Amino acid sequence: MSSKDVIIDISVVGDEVHYTHFRAFVQHGDTLIWRFDHPFAVHFSWDALPWQGETYKKLTSPYQIQLPVMENAEFGSFKYTVALMVGDDIIMDVPEIIVKK
C-alpha cells in the first residue's frame, strides 16, 4: 500500500462552498490535508472511527489541517462538518470521506 496526500482545497463563492474533493477517497496510510484562506474547523461525528467526535481547528495562518488516515480507520463512508470563517460569518457544510480497502 502506498500512502499519498489527499489535498482538499476549500473556497467560498457567495454562500456556496466548493472543494477539490467534496467526496474524498482515501486509504489507510494516506494523509488528508484541508486548506482554506481563513480560519476554519473540521468536526467528525461519533461514528467516524478513529476520529470519533474530534474537532480540529486552524485559527492562524497558514490555514491548513493535516490528519493521517490511521491503520485502524474503519472502511466506509463518513460525513464530517466544516465550519468556515468568512468575514463576520461562519458557513457550515457537510462533505464526505470514503475510506477504501
CATH 2.60.40.420 fits 5-99, yes or no: yes
Provide the pLDDT for residue 2.
56
Amino acid at 11: S
Domain ranges of the chain: 5-99
Check if the beta carbon of residue 74 is closer than 8 Å to that of residue 98: no
- Burial of 15-50, coded b for 16+ CB within 10 Å and e otherwise, reads eebebebeebebbbebebebbbeebbbbbbeeebee
Mean pLDDT of 52-77: 86
Q: What is the structure's pLDDT at 45?
A: 78
Q: Which residue has the cell 474547523?
A: 41
The model's pLDDT over 6-57, given as tens digits with 9 standing for 90+, comes to 999 999 998 899 999 999 999 999 999 999 999 999 998 766 666 766 888 8
